[in-house]
Structure 1
Amino acid sequence: MSSILQELEKEIANVATSVNKTNVGVVRQVGDGVARVEGLSDVMLNEMISFPGGVTGIALNLEESEVGVVLLGEYNAIAEGDECSATGKLLSVPVGRATFGRVVNALGAPIDGKGEIAASAQYPMEKIAPGIIKRKSVSVPVQTGIMSIDAMIPIGRGQRELIIGDRATGKTTIAVDTIISQAKQNKLAEQGKLQNFKPLYCIYVAIGQKLSNVARIQKTLEDAGAMEYTTIVSATASDAAAMQFLAPYAGCAIAEYMMDQGEDCLIVFDDLSKHAVAYRQVSLILKRPSGREAYPGDVFYLHSRLLERSARLSDAAGGGSLTALPVIETQAGDVSAYIPTNVISITDGQIYLETDLFYQGIRPAISVGLSVSRVGSAAQTKTIKSVAGTTKLDLAQFRELQAFAQFGSDLDASTKKKIERGQRIVELFKQNQYSPLSMEMESVYLFAMQNGYFDDVAVSDVKRFQKDLGEFFETRKTDLLDKIRNEKPDLKKDATSVGAVKQAIEDFKKGWK
C-alpha cells in the first residue's frame, strides 16, 4: 500500500502545470468588413487578431473602450458575441526567392493555382525604413530600355521615381517595359554576355485594377520571359478595401527581404491613387475623422512610410537596394491635386505623361518640361551620359519653338535647324510597347542623332532608318556592341570607340536607301 502511495506522490511531484495567458475579446459589432471588439487589453497597432473559422483581422483603431479590427479574407461567418484573441504577432507575409514567378494576394498566399510557396521566412509588412547611416548615394543605373527615359530622366538603383499622368496614357506600360528590360539584362548576365552586372528582381503590385488587367500583365511578362524574376502582388477591384490597403506593404516586405539579403530589387506600385481611396474607405468605416477631400489626416504618412523604405544600402549594411516606381493617376492633368502633390514631394523625381502627346502618336508620351530626375544622372552609365548630352535641352527648345513655327513662315536658319533636329528626336524617341532597347543600341542611336547622321534623313523615314541601323549593328557589328555593353566607353573622349562607331554608321549609310 505504501509503495502505491509513494508512486502517486512521486507522479504528483513531477507534474508540471503551465499557465497560458491569452488576451481574449468579444465582438460587439460587425459590418462592412470591420469588427468592433471589447476586452482586448494589451493589443498593439497592426497586431493580428484571430477570429473563429480561421479568419484573421488587424487592429487598426485602438480606442479607450474598444478596438477597431479590419477583417481580412472571408468574414461573413463572424457574428456579434464571438470570441477572438490577440496573437501577439504583427502582420507579416511569407517571403523568399520562391515567391518569384508567382502571383500572390495581399497576405502573400498564392492565387495562381500553382500550389504552395516554400517561403524562406515571415517578414513584417510594416517596418521602419533604414536610417541615413545605413544608406549610400545612388550610383548604379536601372536601365528601363525606354530611350527617352534613359537619356533624359534616368533612374538609379535605390531611387523613387513617380510615373504620373491621366488614365490610359501608358503609365503601366512604362513599368512593365522596365521589368522586361531587367529580365533581358539578368539573362545576358547569366549567359556571361554582360559582366559586372548585379541582377535586379522585380515586384509588381496591382492595386484596385480589373482582374483581366492583372492577367494580361502576367501573360505579357511570361511571353517576354520576365516572369521568373518577378512577383505579382494582386489586390483587385473585387477584393475588399482592406486587402487593397495592405497590398503595397506586402509587396514592399517581399522586396525589402531581398534587399536585406544584399540583392537589388525594383517595386512598382500600380497605383497609389487607388491605394489612397481604399485607405479612405477603411478609415471612414472605422469612424476616423476625415480631412481634405474626405481623406484621413494621415494619408501623407500612409505613402511616405511606404516609399521611404526604398534605399541603396551601404556595403556594411549588405549593399542591397530597393528602387520604387509608384504610379499616380491624375484627373484631367491636374498635378496639383492632393494625392499627386503628396507623392511628388516624397519621390526623387517624376515622369509625367501627357494626354495630348499620347493622342498625337508620340508614345511614350513623356512631357520633357514637367519630368525630372533628382538623382539619375549620377547613376547614368558613362556611355549614355556622353551621348545624351544636350538632348533634353534640344527637345525643350523644340517644344517652345514649335508654337512659333505654326504662325511664322520665314524663320531664320538657326531656328529652322533647332526645329528640324527636334522633329527627328521626337521620331527617334517613339517606341513600341513591350520592346525595351538594350543600353548599347540606345547609345548607338543617340550617338548617331548627336553627331548629325539623322539630319539628312527625312522625318518620315527616321523610324525606318533607325530600324535598319539597329539590324545592321546587331548582325554585322556584334563585337562593337559587346564592347560598348561591357566596357561602357565614353563616346565623346574615347577616340578608338568613337572612331569605330562613326565608321560603322558611315558604312551603313553608304548602302542605305
Structure 2
Amino acid sequence: MTSAERDTLPNTATSDDLENMLEHTFTNIGQATKDFKMQLRPREVGSIIHNANGVATVSGLPNVGSEELIHFRDGLLGIAFNIDEDEVGVVLLGDYWKLKAGDQVQRSGRVMDVPVGDALLGRVINPLGEPLDNAGPINGDIRLPIERPAPPIMDRAPVTTPLQTGIKVIDALIPIGRGQRELILGDRQTGKTALAIDTIVNQRGKNVLCVYCAIGQRGASVAKVIATLRQHDAMEYTVVVVAEGSSPPGLSYIAPYAATSIAEAFMEAGRDVVIVYDDLTQHARAYRELSLLLKRPPGREAFPGDIFYLHSRLLERATHLNDDHGGGSLTALPIIETEAQDISAYIPTNLISITDGQIYLSPSFFELGILPAVDVGRSVSRVGGKAQRKAYRTVASNLKLTYAQFEELETFSRFGARVDTASQKVIDHGQRVRMSLKQAECTPFSVEEQILILLAVKEGLFDTIPLASMPKAENSLLITAKDIPKTIRDNIESVKGISDEETQTLVDLAKAALARFIVSETDITEPQKNTEDNAGTAPE
C-alpha cells in the first residue's frame, strides 16, 4: 500500500476495508503484468535471401502457412507460395524493386483479403482493394479472402433466368442465363472486350451488378473502357478491378480471385452479378512466369501442371444459389485470346472444357464488317433454351439452322457454281438474316425490339427489301416497336410468351413499318441472275 493510500484511510478503518484495498491493488498489478506480457508476445521475423522479378526467397519463418500474407518493409505485401524446409518462396504484390537481400519480413497470421460491399460500386481499385480513381478512401469494414471454396452443389439452383445482353445474335442464338459461365474467345482486335462492355451497359435498370476485371491490359485500354462505362451511366452499378500490364505478375495473378470475392459478396446478399475477366490468357501467363521463377516443374508450353486448376477453381465460384441461400447469381464471362484462329490451343481448350459454352469471334467476319463478329457455327450455349424467354423460342427456333445452311451455300456459290432458284432464295434470305444480326457498339436492343426484328426475319419480310435499305428498314422497325401494346410487351417478358394472335399482331405491325422499303422481286433478283449468267466466263 502506498503512503498516499495510507494517508487517505480513515482512522476507523476496519480489517475488511484494508482487505478490499489490497485486493484492488493486486488486481491492478495483475492487469499491468498481463498487458506487459501481451506486448512481449513472440513474433516470427525472417529475412530476405534473394529478390528478383516479383518473387522473393525468405528464411526464418518456420511456421508460415501456405498462401499466408507476409509483411515486408514500407507496407509491401507478399503471399507464401513455396513452403520448403529451410526457405519460403513468396510472390510479391507491389514494387518489389525497393526490397533487397537482408531486409526483415514478418508473418501476418492471415490470408490475402479484399474489402467488399456497396461502397465499391462506381469505384476503380487494384487487386489489393486500394482506390485508383482519386475519389477518396473506400469506407468498408467487411473483408473477404480472395481464395474461397465454391458453393456446394446442394446450395445451387438450375440456371433458368435469362441474362439479356442486348445483343441480338447472342440473345437469339446463344442465350446466356444468370449463373452461367460463357467463354468469349477470338483473335486479338476482334471485339471481345466490346462484347462484354455492351453486356454491362445493357444491365442498366435491370437490378444486375457488374464487376469488370482487367488483367494485364494497357492503361490506355482500361481508361477507354472506364470512359465508355461512365458515358453510358454504367459505373454506378459496376466495380472495376485493374491490374495493368506494367504491374508485378503477383497482382495480375490475384486480380481475378479478388474480383470474384467482391462479386460473391453481392451474390450472397441475394443480388444478381455479372463478372468479366479480361483476359485469362494474361492471367495464365502471369502464373506461368511466377511458377518458373519459383522453379516449379514446367509442363506443356512451359505452363505448370496445375494450370487447369488455376482457372477451374475460379470459374466454379460462378453459380446460381437456391432460395435457401438468398437466390443470388454470379454470371462469369471470361475472355480468352486465340492465335491464328486456333481454338484447340492449350489454354482455350482448358477454358472450353470448364465453361458452359463459348462465343467465338471470327477475324474474317470482323474484316468484312460483320459486327459483332460472332461465328454462329462455332459458338454454343450449353444451357440453351432453358435460360431463354419463350418469345425468343417462338420467333428464332430455326434461325440457327437457317443461318448454317446459308453459310454452307454461300461458300459453295463463291466458286462460281450455278445455284438453282431454291438455293438462291436461301442465300438471299441468309444475307438478310446476317444483316439483321449486325449491331453497332454500345447500342443495346430491348427485348421487344429484338423480337420484332427476329419475327420479321422469320416471316421473310426483309426478303423483298434491297440489302442497301436494310439499315433504314430496321430503324423503322425500332420506331414501330414503341407502338407494341402493353399486354404484348408484358407477355414477351413473361414466362408464358406470346400467343398466335399476338404474333400475328406483331407481324402486321412489322409489315406496315416495312411497306415503303419493299421493291418487286424482279428488281432484287435481276442483278444476281446477271452475275450467275456471267459466272465462269473469262474476260476478253
TM above 0.5, yes or no, is yes
Whether the aligned pair in 2 keeps the contact of 1:124 and 1:253 (CA below 8 Å) is: yes
C-alpha distance in structure 2 between counterparts of 1:467 and 1:430, whole Å: 12
1:323 has 2:340 as partner: no
1:432-461 superposed Cα distances (whole Å, 9 cap, x missing partner) = 111111111101100111112112112222
The match for 2:449 is 441
Taking a change above 3 Å as real, the CA distance of residues 495 and 2 of structure 1, as seen in their structure-2 partners, is closer
Q: Cα 1:177–1:14, aligned 2, differ >3 Å: closer, same or farther?
A: closer
Q: Secondary structure at the match of 1:312?
A: coil
TM-aligned CA deviation for residue 11 of structure 1: 5.1
Q: How far apart are the structure 2 equivalents of 1:14 and 1:115?
A: 40
Q: CA deviation at 1:44?
A: 1.7
Partners of 1:9 and 1:438 in 2: CA distance: 76
Deviations 1:264-285 (A, max 9, x none): 1100001111111111111111
| Offset, 1:508 | 2.0
Question: Is 1:43 matched with 2:50?
Answer: no
C-alpha distance in structure 1 between counterparts of 2:370 and 2:236, whole Å: 31
Matching residue within 159, 166, 171 for 1:145: 166
Counterparts of 1:98 and 1:362, CA distance in 2: 40
Contact 2:190 2:361 in 1 (8 A): yes
Residue 455 of structure 1 corresponds to 463
- Alignment match, 2:320: 312
For residue 15 of structure 1, the aligned residue among 32, 38, 42 is 32
Q: Which has the higher contact order (CA 8 A, sep 6+)?
A: 1
Distance, in Å, in 1 between the alignment partners of 2:488 and 2:242 is 38
Scaled by the length of structure 2, the TM-score of the pair is: 0.88
SS of 1:502's partner is helix
Match of 2:371 in 1: 363
**Which residue of the other structure, out of 85, 97, 108, is the alignment partner of 2:129?**
108
Alpha-carbon separation, structure 2, partners of 1:65 and 1:267: 40
* Match 1:248 to one of 241, 256, 259: 256
Counterpart mapping for 1:163-202 below 5 A: 163-183=184-204, 185-186=205-206, 199-202=207-210
Deviation at 1:487, TM superposition (A): 3.9
Answer yes or no: is 1:93 the counterpart of 2:114.
yes
Confirm or deny: 8 A CA contact 1:473 1:481 kept in the other structure: no
Runs of 4+ in 1 over 6 A off after TM superposition: 1-10
Offset at residue 340 of structure 1 (A): 0.7
Structure 1 residue corresponding to 2:218, chosen from 210, 213, 223: 210
Q: 1:9 and 1:130 mapped to 2: Cα distance?
A: 52
- Select the residue among 497, 502, 505 that pairs with 1:500: 505
1:472 is aligned to 480
Question: 1:160: which partner in 2?
Answer: 181
Q: How much does 1:321 deviate?
A: 0.7
Which residue of structure 1 aligns with residue 281 of structure 2? 273
Deviation, 1:287, is 1.6
Q: Tell me the equivalent position of 2:51.
A: 30
> Could you tell me which of 226, 237, 243 is aligned with 2:234?
226
Q: Structure 1's 510 and 9: CA in aligned 2 closer, same or farther, altered over 3 A? A: closer
Q: Give the deviation of 1:343 after TM superposition.
A: 0.8
Measured in 2, the distance between the counterparts of 1:422 and 1:135 equals 40
Distance 1:396 1:345 in 2: 24
Find the counterpart in structure 2 of residue 483 from structure 1.
490
Distance 2:495 2:2 in 1: 92
Distance in 2, Cα, partners of 1:2 & 1:279: 66
Q: Is the 2:80–2:90 Cα contact (8 Å) retained in structure 1?
A: yes
What's the secondary structure of 2:33's corresponding residue? coil
Contact 1:258 1:264 in 2 (8 A): yes
Aligned counterpart, 2:10: none
- Quote how far apart the aligned CAs of 1:143 are: 0.6
Q: Which SS does the other structure have where 1:335 is aligned?
A: coil
CA–CA distance in structure 1, aligned partners of residues 187 and 233 of structure 2: 29
Deviation per CA, 1:298-337, whole angstroms, max 9, x where unpaired? 1111111111111111111211111100000011011111
1:292-307 alignment to 2 at 5 Å? Answer: 292-307=300-315
Residue type at the aligned position of 1:157: R
Contact 1:440 1:484 in 2 (8 A): no
Amino acid at match of 1:255: A
Q: What's the CA shift for 1:488?
A: 6.0
Structure 1, unmatched stretches of 5+, are 187-198
Structure 1 Cα separation of the partners of residues 440 and 340 of structure 2: 25
Q: Which residue in the other structure is 2:514 paired with?
A: 509
Q: CA deviation at 1:473?
A: 2.5
- C-alpha distance 213-319 of structure 1, shift in aligned 2 (>3 A): same
The equivalent of 1:190 in structure 2 is none
Tell me the distance in 1 between the aligned counterparts of 2:145 and 2:412: 57
- How far did 1:495 drift? 2.9
Q: Could you tell me whether the CA contact under 8 Å between 2:48 and 2:57 is conserved in 1? A: yes
Give the structure 2 partner of residue 288 of structure 1: 296
Counterpart Cα distance in 1 of 2:303 and 2:400: 37
Is 2:356–2:382's contact at 8 Å kept on the other side of the alignment? yes
Question: 1: distance between equivalents of 2:233 and 2:462?
Answer: 33
Residues 447 and 29 of structure 1, relative CA distance in 2, 3 Å threshold: same
- Is the contact between residue 312 and residue 320 of structure 1 (CA under 8 Å) also seen in structure 2? yes
Structure 1 counterpart SS, 2:217: coil
Q: Contact 1:100–1:230 at 8 Å: present in 2 too?
A: yes
Q: 1:477 to 1:54 in 2, by over 3 A?
A: same
- Provide Cα deviations, 1:455-511, integer angstroms capped at 9, x if missing partner: 21122222221111112323x4464674355446534xx033213212212322345
* Aligned partner of residue 508 in structure 1, secondary structure: helix
Report the alpha carbon displacement of residue 21 of structure 1 after superposing the two structures with TM.
3.6
1:264 to 2:272 alignment? yes
Amino acid at match of 2:500: A
Q: Secondary structure at the match of 2:96?
A: coil
Change (3 A) 1:115 1:478: farther
CA distance in structure 1 between the partners assigned to 2:422 and 2:33 by the alignment: 94
**Does structure 2 retain, via aligned residues, the 8 Å contact 1:141–1:376?**
no
Q: Which moved more, 1:482-491 or 1:338-347?
A: 482-491
Matches of 1:76 and 1:90, distance apart in 2: 23
Contact (CA 8 Å) 2:391, 2:492: kept in 1 or not?
A: no
Name whichever of 413-422 and 429-438 sits farther off.
Answer: 413-422
State the partner residue of 1:353: 361
Query: Which is greater in Rg?
Result: 2
Query: Percent sequence identity over matched residues?
Result: 45
Q: In structure 1, how many angstroms separate the alpha carbons of the residues matched to 2:505 and 2:141? A: 49
Q: 2 CA distance for matches of 1:313 and 1:466? A: 39
